Chain A
Amino acid sequence: MTSVLIRVQGLQKSFGRHRVLRNLNFDIEAGTSVALLGPNGAGKTTLLRILATLSRPTAGRVTIAGVDIGANPEGIRQYIGLVTHAPLLYDDLNAMENLEFFARLYGLSDAEERIRDLLTRVGLYHRRKDRVRTFSRGMVQRLAIARALLHDPPILLLDEPDTGLDPQAAEMMNDLLKELSGGERTILMTTHHLERGLEVADRVTILSGGRLVFDAPASGISYGELRPLYDEYVGVGAI
Protein backbone atom coordinates (compact mmCIF):
# COMPACT_ATOMS: atom_id res chain seq x y z
CA MET A 1 0.00 0.00 0.00
CA THR A 2 1.03 3.54 -0.58
CA SER A 3 0.53 6.69 1.39
CA VAL A 4 -0.37 8.65 -1.74
CA LEU A 5 -3.94 9.97 -1.50
CA ILE A 6 -4.24 12.12 -4.63
CA ARG A 7 -2.43 11.14 -7.80
CA VAL A 8 -2.50 13.33 -10.90
CA GLN A 9 -1.11 11.81 -14.09
CA GLY A 10 -0.73 13.59 -17.44
CA LEU A 11 -3.59 15.92 -16.61
CA GLN A 12 -4.64 18.32 -19.38
CA LYS A 13 -7.56 20.68 -19.64
CA SER A 14 -8.43 22.91 -22.59
CA PHE A 15 -11.26 25.34 -23.04
CA GLY A 16 -11.56 25.18 -26.78
CA ARG A 17 -8.10 25.86 -28.16
CA HIS A 18 -7.02 27.56 -24.96
CA ARG A 19 -4.91 25.07 -23.03
CA VAL A 20 -5.18 25.79 -19.33
CA LEU A 21 -3.43 22.74 -17.91
CA ARG A 22 -0.65 21.03 -19.81
CA ASN A 23 0.47 17.67 -18.65
CA LEU A 24 0.42 17.94 -14.88
CA ASN A 25 1.92 15.18 -12.80
CA PHE A 26 2.11 15.09 -9.02
CA ASP A 27 1.21 13.07 -5.95
CA ILE A 28 -0.11 14.30 -2.64
CA GLU A 29 0.47 12.15 0.42
CA ALA A 30 -2.32 11.68 2.90
CA GLY A 31 -2.24 14.15 5.78
CA THR A 32 -0.08 16.77 4.10
CA SER A 33 -1.07 20.30 3.24
CA VAL A 34 0.15 21.69 -0.03
CA ALA A 35 0.22 25.34 -1.08
CA LEU A 36 -0.32 25.89 -4.78
CA LEU A 37 1.11 29.26 -5.80
CA GLY A 38 0.81 30.98 -9.13
CA PRO A 39 -0.43 34.06 -10.93
CA ASN A 40 -3.96 34.57 -12.19
CA GLY A 41 -4.70 32.38 -15.17
CA ALA A 42 -2.11 29.79 -14.21
CA GLY A 43 -4.79 27.10 -14.01
CA LYS A 44 -5.04 26.83 -10.20
CA THR A 45 -8.81 27.16 -10.08
CA THR A 46 -9.25 24.77 -13.01
CA LEU A 47 -7.11 22.16 -11.25
CA LEU A 48 -9.14 22.43 -8.04
CA ARG A 49 -12.42 22.19 -9.93
CA ILE A 50 -11.23 19.03 -11.66
CA LEU A 51 -10.23 17.49 -8.33
CA ALA A 52 -13.66 18.40 -6.96
CA THR A 53 -15.32 16.63 -9.98
CA LEU A 54 -16.92 19.89 -11.15
CA SER A 55 -14.88 19.92 -14.31
CA ARG A 56 -13.90 17.05 -16.54
CA PRO A 57 -10.26 16.68 -17.64
CA THR A 58 -9.53 16.85 -21.37
CA ALA A 59 -6.86 14.18 -20.96
CA GLY A 60 -5.05 12.41 -18.18
CA ARG A 61 -6.07 10.73 -14.99
CA VAL A 62 -6.80 11.73 -11.43
CA THR A 63 -7.15 9.12 -8.74
CA ILE A 64 -8.12 9.62 -5.13
CA ALA A 65 -7.11 6.74 -2.86
CA GLY A 66 -6.58 4.75 -6.04
CA VAL A 67 -10.08 5.34 -7.39
CA ASP A 68 -10.41 7.18 -10.71
CA ILE A 69 -12.54 10.28 -10.10
CA GLY A 70 -14.29 9.85 -13.45
CA ALA A 71 -15.37 6.32 -12.52
CA ASN A 72 -17.29 7.20 -9.38
CA PRO A 73 -17.72 10.98 -9.02
CA GLU A 74 -20.68 10.63 -6.64
CA GLY A 75 -18.59 8.56 -4.26
CA ILE A 76 -15.60 10.93 -4.47
CA ARG A 77 -17.69 14.01 -3.69
CA GLN A 78 -18.53 12.65 -0.25
CA TYR A 79 -14.84 12.92 0.69
CA ILE A 80 -14.11 16.39 -0.66
CA GLY A 81 -14.71 19.83 0.76
CA LEU A 82 -14.30 22.83 -1.54
CA VAL A 83 -13.93 26.54 -0.88
CA THR A 84 -13.85 28.75 -3.98
CA HIS A 85 -13.76 32.48 -4.75
CA ALA A 86 -17.54 32.39 -4.88
CA PRO A 87 -18.94 31.38 -1.48
CA LEU A 88 -21.42 28.80 -2.90
CA LEU A 89 -23.97 30.07 -0.40
CA TYR A 90 -27.44 31.55 -0.68
CA ASP A 91 -27.75 35.24 0.14
CA ASP A 92 -31.37 34.95 1.13
CA LEU A 93 -30.96 32.14 3.60
CA ASN A 94 -29.43 32.71 7.01
CA ALA A 95 -26.18 31.08 8.13
CA MET A 96 -28.00 28.26 9.88
CA GLU A 97 -30.31 27.52 6.96
CA ASN A 98 -27.43 27.48 4.51
CA LEU A 99 -25.60 24.88 6.54
CA GLU A 100 -28.78 22.89 7.12
CA PHE A 101 -29.37 22.81 3.38
CA PHE A 102 -25.89 21.54 2.61
CA ALA A 103 -26.12 19.04 5.48
CA ARG A 104 -29.20 17.64 3.78
CA LEU A 105 -27.37 17.39 0.45
CA TYR A 106 -24.69 15.31 2.17
CA GLY A 107 -27.22 13.26 4.08
CA LEU A 108 -25.89 14.09 7.54
CA SER A 109 -28.12 12.78 10.28
CA ASP A 110 -26.73 14.47 13.42
CA ALA A 111 -26.40 17.81 11.64
CA GLU A 112 -27.75 20.10 14.37
CA GLU A 113 -24.88 19.66 16.77
CA ARG A 114 -22.29 19.65 14.01
CA ILE A 115 -23.64 22.93 12.60
CA ARG A 116 -23.62 24.59 16.01
CA ASP A 117 -20.09 23.39 16.59
CA LEU A 118 -18.85 24.65 13.21
CA LEU A 119 -20.57 28.03 13.53
CA THR A 120 -18.88 28.48 16.89
CA ARG A 121 -15.51 27.51 15.47
CA VAL A 122 -15.70 30.08 12.65
CA GLY A 123 -17.04 32.68 15.10
CA LEU A 124 -20.46 33.12 13.53
CA TYR A 125 -22.72 31.48 16.08
CA HIS A 126 -24.10 34.81 17.29
CA ARG A 127 -25.02 35.69 13.68
CA ARG A 128 -26.60 32.33 12.84
CA LYS A 129 -30.08 33.77 12.29
CA ASP A 130 -28.90 36.57 9.97
CA ARG A 131 -29.16 36.34 6.24
CA VAL A 132 -25.88 35.88 4.41
CA ARG A 133 -26.73 39.01 2.41
CA THR A 134 -25.93 41.07 5.51
CA PHE A 135 -22.50 39.45 6.06
CA SER A 136 -19.15 41.05 5.34
CA ARG A 137 -16.77 39.40 2.91
CA GLY A 138 -14.76 37.86 5.72
CA MET A 139 -17.83 36.44 7.42
CA VAL A 140 -19.08 34.96 4.15
CA GLN A 141 -15.70 33.36 3.61
CA ARG A 142 -15.69 31.84 7.10
CA LEU A 143 -19.17 30.49 6.55
CA ALA A 144 -18.01 29.04 3.24
CA ILE A 145 -15.27 27.17 5.11
CA ALA A 146 -17.81 25.90 7.63
CA ARG A 147 -19.89 24.68 4.69
CA ALA A 148 -16.91 22.85 3.20
CA LEU A 149 -16.15 21.17 6.55
CA LEU A 150 -19.73 20.15 7.22
CA HIS A 151 -19.39 16.51 6.15
CA ASP A 152 -15.92 16.30 7.72
CA PRO A 153 -14.15 15.60 4.43
CA PRO A 154 -10.69 14.03 4.57
CA ILE A 155 -9.69 16.20 1.58
CA LEU A 156 -10.06 19.96 1.66
CA LEU A 157 -9.57 22.06 -1.46
CA LEU A 158 -9.23 25.79 -0.84
CA ASP A 159 -9.13 28.24 -3.73
CA GLU A 160 -7.64 31.50 -2.45
CA PRO A 161 -9.51 31.45 0.83
CA ASP A 162 -7.68 34.65 1.87
CA THR A 163 -8.63 36.88 -1.09
CA GLY A 164 -10.39 40.14 -0.31
CA LEU A 165 -10.26 39.78 3.46
CA ASP A 166 -9.40 42.64 5.80
CA PRO A 167 -6.25 42.02 7.94
CA GLN A 168 -8.26 40.96 10.98
CA ALA A 169 -10.33 38.46 9.01
CA ALA A 170 -7.18 37.22 7.28
CA GLU A 171 -5.59 36.64 10.69
CA MET A 172 -8.61 34.63 11.79
CA MET A 173 -8.49 32.67 8.54
CA ASN A 174 -4.80 31.98 9.12
CA ASP A 175 -5.44 30.50 12.53
CA LEU A 176 -8.29 28.44 11.18
CA LEU A 177 -6.16 27.10 8.35
CA LYS A 178 -3.32 26.21 10.67
CA GLU A 179 -5.72 24.40 12.93
CA LEU A 180 -7.18 22.50 9.98
CA SER A 181 -3.84 21.49 8.56
CA GLY A 182 -2.67 20.18 11.90
CA GLY A 183 -4.83 17.05 11.85
CA GLU A 184 -5.27 14.06 9.55
CA ARG A 185 -6.76 16.17 6.81
CA THR A 186 -5.16 16.53 3.39
CA ILE A 187 -5.27 20.11 2.16
CA LEU A 188 -4.58 21.65 -1.21
CA MET A 189 -4.72 25.41 -1.05
CA THR A 190 -4.12 27.98 -3.76
CA THR A 191 -2.97 31.47 -2.87
CA HIS A 192 -1.13 34.51 -4.19
CA HIS A 193 0.11 35.11 -0.71
CA LEU A 194 3.55 33.48 -0.52
CA GLU A 195 4.09 34.04 3.20
CA ARG A 196 0.77 32.52 4.13
CA GLY A 197 1.45 29.58 1.86
CA LEU A 198 4.77 28.94 3.56
CA GLU A 199 3.30 29.36 7.00
CA VAL A 200 0.37 27.01 6.60
CA ALA A 201 1.65 24.33 4.22
CA ASP A 202 4.09 21.44 4.47
CA ARG A 203 4.89 21.67 0.79
CA VAL A 204 5.02 24.56 -1.65
CA THR A 205 4.39 24.27 -5.37
CA ILE A 206 4.20 26.84 -8.16
CA LEU A 207 1.87 26.45 -11.11
CA SER A 208 2.61 28.61 -14.10
CA GLY A 209 1.35 28.43 -17.68
CA GLY A 210 -0.46 25.19 -16.94
CA ARG A 211 2.66 23.40 -15.68
CA LEU A 212 4.05 22.64 -12.25
CA VAL A 213 7.35 24.55 -12.29
CA PHE A 214 8.39 24.29 -8.64
CA ASP A 215 7.80 21.75 -5.90
CA ALA A 216 9.62 21.65 -2.55
CA PRO A 217 9.02 21.04 1.17
CA ALA A 218 8.02 24.25 2.92
CA SER A 219 10.49 23.65 5.75
CA GLY A 220 13.46 23.82 3.40
CA ILE A 221 12.79 27.25 1.95
CA SER A 222 12.35 30.71 3.40
CA TYR A 223 10.26 33.57 2.09
CA GLY A 224 13.43 35.40 1.07
CA GLU A 225 14.41 32.46 -1.14
CA LEU A 226 10.96 31.75 -2.49
CA ARG A 227 10.10 35.29 -3.62
CA PRO A 228 12.78 35.66 -6.35
CA LEU A 229 12.14 32.10 -7.50
CA TYR A 230 8.43 32.80 -7.75
CA ASP A 231 8.96 36.03 -9.68
CA GLU A 232 11.29 34.28 -12.07
CA TYR A 233 8.96 31.35 -12.76
CA VAL A 234 5.90 33.50 -13.03
CA GLY A 235 7.69 35.95 -15.27
CA VAL A 236 8.72 33.13 -17.59
CA GLY A 237 5.32 31.50 -17.51
CA ALA A 238 3.31 34.66 -18.01
CA ILE A 239 4.95 35.40 -21.40
Chain B
Amino acid sequence: MKAYFRVAWAVLWKDLRVEWRTKDMFTSMAVFAVLALLIFNFAFELRVPDKRMVVPGVLWVTVAFAGVLGLGRAFITEKDRGSLSGLLLAPVDRSAIYFGKMVANLIFILVVEALILPLITVFFNVPLITLPLLLILLLGTIGFAAVGTIFSALTVNTRAREVLLPILLFPVLLPVLVAGIRATIGLLEGDTLNDLANWVQLLLFFDLLFLIVAYLTFDYVVEE
Protein backbone atom coordinates (compact mmCIF):
# COMPACT_ATOMS: atom_id res chain seq x y z
CA MET B 1 0.00 0.00 0.00
CA LYS B 2 2.88 2.33 0.77
CA ALA B 3 4.47 1.46 -2.56
CA TYR B 4 1.17 2.26 -4.28
CA PHE B 5 1.02 5.80 -2.90
CA ARG B 6 4.72 6.30 -3.49
CA VAL B 7 4.33 5.51 -7.20
CA ALA B 8 1.18 7.64 -7.58
CA TRP B 9 3.00 10.50 -5.86
CA ALA B 10 6.13 10.06 -7.99
CA VAL B 11 4.06 10.16 -11.20
CA LEU B 12 2.20 13.25 -10.02
CA TRP B 13 5.43 14.98 -9.01
CA LYS B 14 7.08 14.10 -12.33
CA ASP B 15 4.11 15.45 -14.34
CA LEU B 16 4.06 18.67 -12.35
CA ARG B 17 7.80 19.15 -12.81
CA VAL B 18 7.71 18.51 -16.56
CA GLU B 19 4.73 20.83 -16.94
CA TRP B 20 6.43 23.51 -14.85
CA ARG B 21 9.36 23.38 -17.28
CA THR B 22 7.52 23.21 -20.59
CA LYS B 23 4.16 24.78 -19.71
CA ASP B 24 2.82 22.93 -22.77
CA MET B 25 -0.58 22.04 -21.39
CA PHE B 26 -1.07 25.18 -19.39
CA THR B 27 -0.26 27.53 -22.26
CA SER B 28 -2.58 25.81 -24.72
CA MET B 29 -5.43 25.57 -22.21
CA ALA B 30 -5.05 29.13 -20.93
CA VAL B 31 -4.78 30.78 -24.35
CA PHE B 32 -7.75 28.77 -25.59
CA ALA B 33 -9.82 29.69 -22.53
CA VAL B 34 -9.16 33.41 -22.92
CA LEU B 35 -10.02 33.23 -26.62
CA ALA B 36 -13.23 31.38 -25.84
CA LEU B 37 -14.21 34.02 -23.29
CA LEU B 38 -13.62 36.80 -25.83
CA ILE B 39 -15.69 35.03 -28.47
CA PHE B 40 -18.48 34.35 -25.99
CA ASN B 41 -18.44 38.00 -25.07
CA PHE B 42 -19.10 39.01 -28.67
CA ALA B 43 -21.59 36.21 -29.24
CA PHE B 44 -23.81 37.42 -26.42
CA GLU B 45 -23.10 41.14 -26.41
CA LEU B 46 -26.07 42.41 -28.38
CA ARG B 47 -28.64 39.65 -28.37
CA VAL B 48 -28.84 38.63 -24.75
CA PRO B 49 -30.67 41.15 -22.53
CA ASP B 50 -28.14 40.76 -19.74
CA LYS B 51 -24.77 39.14 -20.34
CA ARG B 52 -24.73 37.89 -16.77
CA MET B 53 -27.48 35.41 -17.62
CA VAL B 54 -25.13 33.35 -19.78
CA VAL B 55 -22.24 33.24 -17.30
CA PRO B 56 -22.92 29.68 -15.98
CA GLY B 57 -22.90 28.30 -19.51
CA VAL B 58 -19.84 30.31 -20.49
CA LEU B 59 -17.93 29.11 -17.43
CA TRP B 60 -18.60 25.40 -17.89
CA VAL B 61 -18.27 25.31 -21.65
CA THR B 62 -14.94 27.14 -21.45
CA VAL B 63 -13.68 24.77 -18.75
CA ALA B 64 -14.84 21.72 -20.71
CA PHE B 65 -13.25 22.74 -24.00
CA ALA B 66 -10.03 24.05 -22.50
CA GLY B 67 -9.83 20.94 -20.31
CA VAL B 68 -10.20 18.51 -23.19
CA LEU B 69 -7.42 20.34 -25.00
CA GLY B 70 -5.08 19.78 -22.07
CA LEU B 71 -6.17 16.18 -21.47
CA GLY B 72 -5.37 15.38 -25.08
CA ARG B 73 -1.72 16.04 -24.25
CA ALA B 74 -1.69 14.09 -20.99
CA PHE B 75 -0.44 10.82 -22.48
CA ILE B 76 1.31 12.15 -25.55
CA THR B 77 4.44 12.95 -23.54
CA GLU B 78 4.41 9.38 -22.28
CA LYS B 79 3.81 7.93 -25.72
CA ASP B 80 6.33 9.80 -27.83
CA ARG B 81 9.43 8.66 -25.96
CA GLY B 82 7.96 5.34 -24.92
CA SER B 83 8.10 6.39 -21.30
CA LEU B 84 4.69 4.89 -20.57
CA SER B 85 6.42 1.49 -20.79
CA GLY B 86 8.90 2.80 -18.24
CA LEU B 87 6.03 3.62 -15.89
CA LEU B 88 4.42 0.26 -16.49
CA LEU B 89 7.63 -1.49 -15.40
CA ALA B 90 7.14 -0.12 -11.89
CA PRO B 91 6.57 -3.01 -9.48
CA VAL B 92 3.09 -1.93 -8.35
CA ASP B 93 -0.51 -2.17 -9.48
CA ARG B 94 -0.89 0.00 -12.56
CA SER B 95 -3.86 1.95 -11.27
CA ALA B 96 -1.30 3.86 -9.14
CA ILE B 97 -0.11 5.42 -12.40
CA TYR B 98 -3.70 6.34 -13.25
CA PHE B 99 -4.21 8.12 -9.95
CA GLY B 100 -0.92 9.99 -10.26
CA LYS B 101 -1.76 11.25 -13.72
CA MET B 102 -5.39 11.92 -12.82
CA VAL B 103 -4.43 14.17 -9.92
CA ALA B 104 -1.86 15.94 -12.13
CA ASN B 105 -4.54 16.63 -14.77
CA LEU B 106 -6.93 17.76 -12.06
CA ILE B 107 -4.36 20.28 -10.84
CA PHE B 108 -3.67 21.56 -14.38
CA ILE B 109 -7.36 22.17 -15.04
CA LEU B 110 -7.83 23.79 -11.63
CA VAL B 111 -4.99 26.19 -12.40
CA VAL B 112 -6.69 27.18 -15.65
CA GLU B 113 -9.94 27.66 -13.76
CA ALA B 114 -8.12 29.93 -11.34
CA LEU B 115 -7.32 32.05 -14.37
CA ILE B 116 -10.80 31.90 -15.92
CA LEU B 117 -12.78 32.81 -12.80
CA PRO B 118 -11.33 36.31 -12.29
CA LEU B 119 -11.51 36.93 -16.05
CA ILE B 120 -15.22 36.09 -16.16
CA THR B 121 -15.75 38.21 -13.08
CA VAL B 122 -14.17 41.14 -14.93
CA PHE B 123 -15.51 40.55 -18.46
CA PHE B 124 -19.09 39.72 -17.43
CA ASN B 125 -19.23 41.67 -14.21
CA VAL B 126 -20.42 38.76 -12.09
CA PRO B 127 -18.88 37.87 -8.73
CA LEU B 128 -18.05 34.19 -9.25
CA ILE B 129 -15.41 33.58 -6.64
CA THR B 130 -17.43 32.24 -3.72
CA LEU B 131 -16.79 29.18 -1.60
CA PRO B 132 -19.89 27.20 -2.71
CA LEU B 133 -19.11 27.84 -6.37
CA LEU B 134 -15.51 26.75 -5.91
CA LEU B 135 -16.78 23.53 -4.33
CA ILE B 136 -19.12 22.82 -7.26
CA LEU B 137 -16.32 23.59 -9.69
CA LEU B 138 -13.95 21.26 -7.83
CA LEU B 139 -16.46 18.40 -7.82
CA GLY B 140 -17.16 18.86 -11.52
CA THR B 141 -13.47 19.04 -12.36
CA ILE B 142 -12.75 15.83 -10.44
CA GLY B 143 -15.30 14.00 -12.57
CA PHE B 144 -13.85 15.60 -15.66
CA ALA B 145 -10.28 14.55 -14.80
CA ALA B 146 -11.37 11.07 -13.65
CA VAL B 147 -12.99 10.17 -16.96
CA GLY B 148 -10.73 12.38 -19.09
CA THR B 149 -7.48 10.78 -17.89
CA ILE B 150 -8.49 7.23 -18.79
CA PHE B 151 -10.03 8.32 -22.11
CA SER B 152 -6.84 10.20 -22.89
CA ALA B 153 -4.94 6.94 -22.37
CA LEU B 154 -7.45 5.22 -24.69
CA THR B 155 -7.25 7.72 -27.52
CA VAL B 156 -3.47 8.15 -27.48
CA ASN B 157 -3.22 4.70 -29.05
CA THR B 158 -5.72 5.41 -31.83
CA ARG B 159 -5.73 7.21 -35.15
CA ALA B 160 -7.08 10.76 -35.03
CA ARG B 161 -6.55 10.88 -31.28
CA GLU B 162 -7.08 14.65 -30.97
CA VAL B 163 -10.49 14.47 -32.62
CA LEU B 164 -11.63 11.34 -30.88
CA LEU B 165 -11.09 12.45 -27.29
CA PRO B 166 -13.84 15.11 -27.11
CA ILE B 167 -16.23 12.86 -29.03
CA LEU B 168 -15.74 10.07 -26.49
CA LEU B 169 -15.59 12.34 -23.49
CA PHE B 170 -18.45 14.82 -23.78
CA PRO B 171 -21.43 12.47 -24.00
CA VAL B 172 -20.18 10.61 -20.91
CA LEU B 173 -19.53 13.90 -19.11
CA LEU B 174 -22.90 15.42 -19.88
CA PRO B 175 -24.27 14.94 -16.34
CA VAL B 176 -21.28 16.84 -14.94
CA LEU B 177 -21.93 19.76 -17.27
CA VAL B 178 -25.66 19.74 -16.60
CA ALA B 179 -25.16 19.59 -12.84
CA GLY B 180 -22.39 22.17 -12.92
CA ILE B 181 -24.34 24.67 -15.00
CA ARG B 182 -27.54 24.14 -13.05
CA ALA B 183 -25.82 24.55 -9.69
CA THR B 184 -24.02 27.67 -10.90
CA ILE B 185 -27.32 29.19 -12.02
CA GLY B 186 -28.75 28.39 -8.61
CA LEU B 187 -25.83 29.95 -6.75
CA LEU B 188 -25.98 33.12 -8.85
CA GLU B 189 -29.69 33.36 -8.13
CA GLY B 190 -29.03 33.22 -4.40
CA ASP B 191 -29.56 29.53 -3.62
CA THR B 192 -27.46 28.00 -0.86
CA LEU B 193 -25.62 24.68 -1.14
CA ASN B 194 -28.47 23.13 0.85
CA ASP B 195 -30.95 24.06 -1.87
CA LEU B 196 -28.65 22.45 -4.40
CA ALA B 197 -28.01 19.27 -2.40
CA ASN B 198 -29.24 16.94 -5.16
CA TRP B 199 -26.77 18.43 -7.64
CA VAL B 200 -23.90 18.10 -5.19
CA GLN B 201 -24.91 14.49 -4.58
CA LEU B 202 -25.13 13.80 -8.29
CA LEU B 203 -21.63 15.18 -8.83
CA LEU B 204 -20.27 13.21 -5.87
CA PHE B 205 -21.89 10.04 -7.16
CA PHE B 206 -20.53 10.58 -10.67
CA ASP B 207 -17.00 11.24 -9.37
CA LEU B 208 -16.96 8.23 -7.10
CA LEU B 209 -18.51 5.84 -9.64
CA PHE B 210 -16.13 6.70 -12.45
CA LEU B 211 -13.04 6.82 -10.25
CA ILE B 212 -13.85 3.25 -9.24
CA VAL B 213 -14.55 2.14 -12.82
CA ALA B 214 -11.33 3.78 -14.04
CA TYR B 215 -9.41 2.10 -11.21
CA LEU B 216 -10.80 -1.26 -12.31
CA THR B 217 -10.25 -0.83 -16.05
CA PHE B 218 -7.01 1.17 -16.39
CA ASP B 219 -4.90 -1.97 -16.61
CA TYR B 220 -6.78 -3.07 -19.74
CA VAL B 221 -6.09 0.28 -21.38
CA VAL B 222 -2.31 0.19 -20.97
CA GLU B 223 -1.44 -3.48 -21.42
CA GLU B 224 -0.64 -4.99 -24.78
Whether A and B touch directly in their complex, counting CB atoms under 8 A apart, is answered as yes
Query: Which residue numbers of A lie inside 8 Å of B, CB to CB?
Result: 49, 52-56, 74-78, 80, 82, 84-93, 97, 101-102, 104-107, 147
- The CA-CA distance from A80 to B13 in the complex, in Å, is 24
A77 touches B89 (CB 8 A): yes
- The CA-CA distance from A89 to B82 in the complex, in Å, is 8
Q: A80-B89, A90-B77, A92-B22 are in contact. Are A97 and B17 (CB under 8 A)?
A: yes
A105 touches B10 (CB 8 A): yes
The chain B residue with its CB closest to the CB of A132 is B81
Q: With contacts A54-B89, A76-B91, A92-B18 known, what are 5 further pairs, Cβ within 8 A?
A: A54-B223, A88-B81, A93-B18, A101-B13, A107-B6
A interface footprint on B60-96 (CB within 8 Å = 1, 0 otherwise): 0000000000000000010001110111111111000
A87 touches B6 (CB 8 A): no
Is the CB of B181 closer than 8 A to any CB of chain A? no
Q: A49-B224, A54-B223, A74-B93 are in contact. Are A88 and B85 (CB under 8 A)?
A: yes
A86 touches B85 (CB 8 A): yes
Q: How far is the CB of B222 from chain A (nearest CB, A)?
A: 9
Is the CB of B47 closer than 8 A to any CB of chain A? no
B81 touches A90 (CB 8 A): yes
Contacts of A56 in B (CB 8 A): 223-224
A87 touches B7 (CB 8 A): no
B14 touches A54 (CB 8 A): no
Is the CB of B3 closer than 8 A to any CB of chain A? yes
Contacts of B90 in A (CB 8 A): 77, 105-106
A91 touches B81 (CB 8 A): yes
- Contact check: which of B3, B18, B224 meets A55 at CB < 8 Å? B224
Those of B1-24 within 8 Å (CB) of chain A: 3, 6-7, 9-10, 13-14, 17-18, 21-22
The chain A residue with its CB closest to the CB of B77 is A90
- Contact check: which of A84, A97, A101 meets B85 at CB < 8 Å? A84
- The CA-CA distance from A128 to B203 in the complex, in Å, is 46
